Structure 1
Amino acid sequence: MGRIAQWCFVITLLTGCKSTSTPDTGGDLPAAYVRPFIGASTSTGKAGTYHGLGKTFPGATTPYGLVQVSPNTITGGDNGSGYSYEHTTIEGFAFTQMSGIGWYGDLGNFLVMPTTGPLKTSRGKEGGPNTGYRSHYAKDQEQASAGYYSTLLSDYNVRAEATAAPHSGMLRFTFPQHDQARIQIDLARRVGGTSVRQYVKVVDDHTIKGWMQCTPDGGGWGNGDGHANYTVYFYAQFNKPFRKFGVWSADIPDQWTRKREDVESDRYQQRVAEANVLDSATEAEGKHLGFFSEFPSTANEQVMLRAGISFVSMEGAQHNLESEITDWNFDAVRQRAVDVWNDALGKMTVSGGTDDEKSIFYTALYHTMIDPRAFADVDGSFTGGDGKVHQASGYTRRTIFSGWDVFRSQFPLQTIINPSLVNDMSNSLIALAHESNRDYLERWELLNAYSGCMIGNPAISVMADAYNKGILKVDDKALLDLAVKTSERFGNGDKGYFYQSLGISNTLEYAYTEWCTGVLASAMGKDSLAKVYLAKGQNYRNIFNDSVNWFRPRKEDGSWEAWPKEGRLKEWLGSIESNPYQQGWFVPQDIPGMVALMGGDARVKDDLVHFFEQAPKDFLWNLYYNHANEPVHHVPFLFNYVKAPWLTQKWTRQICGRAYQNSVEGLVGNEDVGQMSAWYVLAASGLYQVCPGKSQYDITSPVFDKVSIALDPKYYDGKQFTIVAENNSPTNVYIQRATLNGADYNKTFIDFADIVKGGELHLVMGDKPNEHFGADAR
């Protein structure tokens, strides 16, 4: 097959490929609406909390690609994406990034920086003049779009441009006239820490290859507590032959620790600044290495670098590059990235709404298509949890599963628009458990690491939901065995509640995923086992305390924890990143039972109204409806369950309009690997799945007049499902009546089977609630 055809083939989720010589965003095609700067800030000041804002990255990537070529503004701190818009300097352009995460982040490997003048081997510090190779950049010249990023590095007067292919990337630097121009690569650099050992070899007069070993001793994910342990391999080529080149090597004493705070210290950075420079070195291995190629440049001379990245081998990195980028036509690579983004984003087509709303929607959809990313090379090989190289059979190996976040919206969305992705991630987690000789499913997976981050058993939720929808192609016995063992290892135990810590959050989430295990067992015909676990789904009742009329943590002996004067507004009272008021609504598997405990429909409706009306206008971090964090994301749809669906319609439209903006601060909380954006995509389309594991999607008020969803013919009989909102407007937010495929429809939910068989849900909108709509519901 031809080179362009090869390049398109590796994006297995997409179809179609075009080739043009100049970049074309496609006018009204979806990629033209993507604004990668939305959410690209970690600012705690603007967020009003230590959690910061969206924490997305603005650089170039492809749908679910292994490579992301993006500017990095700072190494340390709670800056998981490597970039924050308010920072004034750039350290360089890395080829791997994470999207929207906290906990100090990881990746940010293979950091490339164009410089002029004397060689500097340390990155320096933000705000410290002339202290390293970092540079100020011109904010007014910064550009980002799907598959492309550009800015002017003002300290060097160098324009930097980035684009990406699935397993490789390309940088184009436009230099001024200078006797001492350079491209340098910091091989030690890593978000939240450092790689602990590096290797580089000069292959020929324009090629290098090597690797960077990243262990928990070097910080990274959770400053090492996340157990991220991986090696990044690279194969990089320059279009300008080496004349003067070399390696720098910092002498890091064996007794020095090398986590985030150590690497950020003046002592460490001074040692890096004093690194030995080994001119003309053709091979080196060490603790803190970098490589540089130096040359005189003419005015406006363009010097380019292209690199393949692999988590398998240097040979894999070379093959990745040679399969995807074979020449120096930067604009053609960029155009191919735009084309595949248009294909991927074209799975959903919206009409109506403002241009800002379309930008918010397609950028949100774009952010849901970064992870779970490919972890395998173009030939399908990957490094498994046992450290050995494997070939996947029947699925694509994927990584970065932010389970506690993404089981809520991201995966319910993907079951509709990208079912093969859900199948891939499920098989990847099952295979990882077997490769690692573990008897459980990881809750937050990063490059094979069992980080244990957050709580619950979200992988069971994802797989039970996908299995119940008929889209999971796995070994049933292996899946059920792992679900049971995971539930027994991490669950509510014999007491029927969790008492060790965060008792409300843990008890409620374990009750839900134990119910999910029951759903799996039932779907597989294991009725006796199903009965046991479906019953465990009722364990939420064990922590409901009548004296406070709410969920309350219990001690090991069964007595209740003290109830504070703040009551259910007390942050962290038995609740992770929340309070009991926020966490207590999480009983998706049995909402009628929860409502009965809380006093019935009328009382719960009033409590929900209070919950929303006390939230701030911008929905930033607060003690009530806190859209900035995941535990409450299903709560707007609970009005559908207490005979007040018009309030679901009202509040979802309010959240879409107030919590999402076409701006850098346009996400009120961490993107969390697609979750925050997936919520918007679903809600703005008029749908939301409150309980993954059940087949129902709740209906709400769409932002757009029409949303069309292309269905995968390999999984579904239907070709397209469309939601039409007649008479829709910013004031006409209430559903008056509905039809499904022409027949009257008076329910506040739709079954997944009805979505994927194709057809049309037609909603007629008005400016006043129709309290009779939904009378046939549930």
Structure 2
Amino acid sequence: MMKRTSIFILTLLVTTISRAQGPAAYVNPFIGASTSEGAAGIYHGLGKTFPGAATPFGMVQLSPNTITGGDNGSGYSYEHKTIEGFAFTQMSGIGWYGDLGNFLVMPTVGALQTAAGDQQHPKEGYRSTYAKQSEKASAGYYSVQLTEQPITAEMTAAPHSGIMRFTFPANGQSRIQIDLARRVGGTSTWQEVKVLNDSTIAGYMQCTPEGGGWGNGAGKGNYTVYFYAQFNKPLKKYGVWSADIPDGWSRKLEDVQSDRYQQQVAKASILPGVNEKAGKHLGFYTEFTTSDQEAVLMKAGISFVSVDGAKANLEAEIKDWNFDGVRQQTFDAWNKALGKMTVTGGTEEEKKVFYTALYHTMIDPRNFSDVDGKYIGGDGKIHATDKFSKRTIFSGWDVFRSQMPLQTIINPRVVNDMVNSLVTLADETGNHYLERWEFLNAYSGCMIGNPAVSVMTDAWTKGIRGFDINKGYTYAKNSVEKFGNGVKGYSTGGLSVSLTLEYAYFDWCVGKLAGALGKKEDEKKYIARGANYKNVFDKNKDWFRPRNDDGSWQTWPATGRMQQGYGTIESSPWQQGWFVPQDVPGMVTLMGGKEKVLADLDTFFTKMPENMMWNDYYNHANEPVHHVPFLFNRLGAPWLTQHWTREICARAYHNSVEGLVGNEDVGQMSAWYVLAASGLHPVCPGSPRYEITSPVFDSIHIALDPAYAKGKQFSISTRNNSPANRYIQRAWLNGKPYQHCYLNHANIAAGGTLVLEMGSQPAKNWGIQ
């Protein structure tokens, strides 16, 4: 009896400690941290997240880097066996060569090496092998044991700064070295470093399209990262290395990775004792003697504005050398941020998946302003604002579907900031239209459509209105006029279907925004243009089909609507064709009626593979189909939405490195899970309607922002919920029977409770009103 009681007390104690740690204790930053094409079965790879330290929507992400680019945009992949260094900036879940990965810090011992070396021959550079089992990552913290020399590297982050702790072996030639040229997807093209005193260095790295980066230069990434770094061990033996990069050499990713370029870097001039240096390919090092297990710390602030901004950021956030104190503050910040959603029930694994997904939705859009509110605008000038936080990294085509709608509920201030940032960017550049994929002020043009128009319309519809609506509306109109279906009412060429359908939706968004603003003529005009999706539907083929410039249909392939890339982007016409969120009834009529559509969707879902990796049916690994499981609610069969969303949550998301079946895409993949697992998801952002589905958890409590909502909390509670009992039998909203399979945003903002009674069989009389 005593033994069983002791076990019970121990179990209770562990449970209590775990709960006391809060939701941040469930975060596993390794979920999705792989770019493996082999595991994904497609060149897009898997989640492409990074495992390093970050704060909610912070400027700094201190993370290990294992690769410089290609389609490995996060700079890290779990299966790689060496670490190149630890960078202060990262992107999450993207391809297209990636960018950032700046201010790469590496602890080393022995002779100084100026090139990283490659993964096959790490000893030829400062790159190091590492003990995979030693890697640890949690919310705001990362550590690893390097094995080239026995050095432990630890790091944690503050919003605009970070601190690193390196535990060295006994050695007379220990070192911290910083590669200032390093950049994911290419190189920074000009750097400057200056020693300010015996503990401090400062400088900057210019990153231009000529140095590759975002889209290997096609993304127009053009930014400067300023740094202000301090060491807790005096700078006594230090210096700079400088590689002579000839003026005629191209500096795109393929050039930087070439043997010729790397050999040039490897024979860089080493300049001991140099206090100040500017050049094309610089690094800085400081050497010292260490005793066994001696910890040496380095901390740095970064800024995209100035060295003074970087200094102010560091001094405001990390005032001393208390590494563990900063780590705790960051963990507490994550607990506060993640605590906006509290779940009960479900398994421990499901909670880890949920809170890690929620964590991944709070990496971007990141803060681009310094602590004093200053930021670099689209005109290259310094601006300052106390009305909003300037934000950046808007992966529009991805995030308008789930990520931004999630934030309208839990972080409306972030959405307000993002809309402000896009509007002021359009103003500052003089372009006067809204960027579709914004990266550090760059108009990258990545992907298609006018997603910022959707985000603005959705925000305004849901009462998020702290931005200049007159400019915003004008720029939204300019966007759809500049990028749209034109006078023909449809787009032609290789992306005819995808462009036509998505442009039609964004036209509808402008119409809805016009109606909300009392602009009746515009409302009529743009709502009508929202029906242009019909112009690429071929009734002879009973599906959407791309058109040529002369209006003729493009040749129908042998595989028909299942042909990947047939008038579509990253999809087939069958997958893209469901994207008519603004007019589901019209779409259903066009497709032959409800029963025919339901039969088609049944095939679409039942034929997807068990593991849900990239496929020709319901392809959850990519965004075009993310709304499709919720269409059943609109088709009078809500039990099928309930069934399939529970299947997707269980089969496409796991607590593992390969736990995301597709790219994280700056929060989109994770936001889908957070919403669906909570029992809500929109089909049509810009409309206040959310579809109700089967929650994974017994209860979900959502804390509301009093500046944007009347209520304090909205809760979804279940009875008899389990993996088998996934079907909603009855529902009550604030104590009253509720027969609808949807909620409006006003229901959530008012606060209250939705109670769902669950069962093992579909209740075909609920939710069809």
TM-score by length of 2: 0.97
Match of 2:89 in 1: 96
Cα distance in 1 for residues equivalent to 2:230 and 2:724: 56
- Contact in 1 for aligned 2:87/2:103 (Cα 8 Å): yes
Structure 2: gaps of 5 or more residues: 1-16
Distance 1:307 1:25 in 2: 32
Matched, 1:139 2:132: yes
Aligned-partner residue type, residue 350 of structure 2: E
The residue type paired with residue 232 of structure 2 is N
Match of 1:421 in 2: 414
Whole-Å separation in 2 of the counterparts to 1:177 and 1:330: 22
Give per-residue Cα distances to partners, 1:269-289, cap 9 Å, x unaligned.
110000000000000000000
Instruction: Report the AA paired with residue 700 of structure 1.
Output: T
In structure 2, give the amino acid aligned to 1:592: P
Q: Does structure 1 residue 606 correspond to structure 2 residue 599?
A: yes
Deviation at 1:392, TM superposition (A): 2.0
How far does residue 129 in structure 1 lie from its aligned partner after superposition? 4.2
- Secondary structure in 1 aligned to 2:177? strand
Per-residue CA deviation, residues 36-68 of structure 1 (Å, 9 max, x unaligned), is: 000000000000000000000000000000000
Residue 590 of structure 2 is aligned to residue 590 of structure 1: no
2:113 aligned with 1:120: yes
Output aligned runs, 1:453-472, within 5 Å: 453-472=446-465
Task: Measure the CA separation in 1 of the matches of 2:343 and 2:382.
Answer: 42
Aligned to 1:630: 623
Q: Amino acid of the residue matched to residue 164 of structure 2?
A: L
Q: Which residue of 1 aligns with 2:690?
A: 697
Q: Deviations over 1:619-640 (max 9, x none)?
A: 1100100000000000001111
Distance in structure 2 (CA, Å) of the matches to 1:318 and 1:602: 64
Match of 2:561 among 560, 568, 576: 568
Aligned to 1:556: 549
The aligned counterpart of 1:733 is 726
SS at match of 1:130: helix
Q: Deviations over 1:406-452 (max 9, x none)?
A: 00000100000000100000000000001001021000000000000
1:415 counterpart SS class: helix
The verdict on how the C-alpha distance between 1:261 and 1:452 changes in structure 2, with shifts beyond 3 A counting, is same
Among 275, 298, 306, the alignment partner of 1:305 is 298
Residue 155 of structure 1 aligns to a residue whose secondary structure is: coil
Q: CA deviation at 1:27?
A: 4.0
Give the structure 1 partner of residue 62 of structure 2. Answer: 69
Match of 2:169 among 164, 176, 179: 176
Q: Which residue of 2 aligns with 1:437?
A: 430
| Cα separation, 2, equivalents of 1:368 and 1:129 | 34
Question: How far apart, in 2, do the equivalents of 1:775 and 1:183 lie?
Answer: 64
Aligned-partner Cα distance in 2 for 1:209–1:233: 8
Contact 2:82 2:122 in 1 (8 A): no
Q: Which runs of structure 2 are paired with 1:22-37 in the superposition (5 Å)?
A: 27-37=20-30
- C-alpha deviation, 1:130, in angstroms: 1.2
Deviation at 1:78, TM superposition (A): 1.0
Other-structure match for 2:639: 646
Answering whether residue 733 of structure 2 is matched by residue 763 of structure 1, we say no
- The aligned residue for residue 365 of structure 1 is 358
CA distance in 2, matches of 1:348, 1:476: 30
- The answer (yes or no) to whether the contact 1:25–1:31 under 8 Å persists in 2 is no
Choose the corresponding residue for 1:669, options 643, 658, 662: 662
Which deviations, in whole Å up to 9, do the C-alpha atoms of 1:95-128 show, x marking residues without a partner? 0000000101000000000000100000000021
Alignment of 1:8-407 (within 5 A): 27-407=20-400
Question: Matched residues in 2 for 1:410 and 1:289: separation?
Answer: 38
One-letter code aligned to 2:574: Y
Q: Report the alpha carbon displacement of residue 742 of structure 1 after superposing the two structures with TM.
A: 0.7
Kept in 2, the 8 Å contact 1:25–1:338? The answer is no
CA pair 240-458 structure 1, distance change in 2 beyond 3 A: same
Amino acid at match of 1:494: V
8 Å contact kept, 1:179–1:297: yes
Structure 1, unpaired ranges of 5+: 1-23
Identity %: 66
Structure 1 SS opposite 2:289: strand
CA displacement at 1:28 relative to structure 2: 4.9
Cα separation, 1, equivalents of 2:433 and 2:149: 51
**Structure 1 residue 500: deviation in Å?**
3.3
Q: Please list the CA deviations of residues 238-292 of structure 1 after superposition, one character each: whole Å capped at 9, or x if unmatched.
A: 0000111000000000000001000001110110000000000000000000000
Question: Is the contact made by 2:122 and 2:129 (CA closer than 8 Å) also made in structure 1?
Answer: no
Counterpart of 2:559, as a letter, is E
* Mapped partners of 1:487, 1:129: distance in 2: 50
Q: Deviations over 1:369-413 (max 9, x none)?
A: 000000000000000000000012411100000000000000100
Measure the CA separation in 1 of the matches of 2:767 and 2:335.
Answer: 37
SS at match of 1:223: helix
* Secondary structure at 1:750 match in 2: strand
C-alpha deviations, 1:166-216, integer Å up to 9, x for none? 000010000000111000000000001000000000000110000000000
Distance in 2 (alpha carbons) for counterparts of 1:35 and 1:480: 40
Cα distance in 2, alignment partners of residues 254 and 26 from structure 1: 59
Q: Which amino acid aligns with 1:382?
A: Y
Could you say which residue in structure 2 is the equivalent of 1:20?
A: none
Query: 2:336 and 2:569 mapped to 1: Cα distance?
Result: 38
Q: Residues of 1 paired with 2:18 and 2:172: CA distance?
A: 37
Aligned residue type for 1:536: R
Q: Does 1:722 align with 2:715?
A: yes
For the residue of structure 1 that corresponds to 2:278, the secondary structure is strand
Corresponding residue number in structure 2 for 1:4: none
State how far apart, in whole Å, the 2-side matches of 1:40 and 1:589 are.
35
SS at match of 1:736: strand
1:524 aligns with 2:517: yes
Q: Is the 8 A contact 1:553 1:561 kept in 2?
A: yes
Figure out how many residues of one structure are paired with residues of the other and give that number: 753
TM, length-normalised to structure 1: 0.96
> What residue number does 2:535 align with?
542
1:3 is aligned to: none
3-state DSSP of counterpart to 2:425? helix
Matched residue type, 1:130: K
How far is the alpha carbon of 1:592 from its aligned partner? 0.6
Distance in 2 (alpha carbons) for counterparts of 1:560 and 1:490: 22
RMSD of the alignment, in Å?
Answer: 0.8
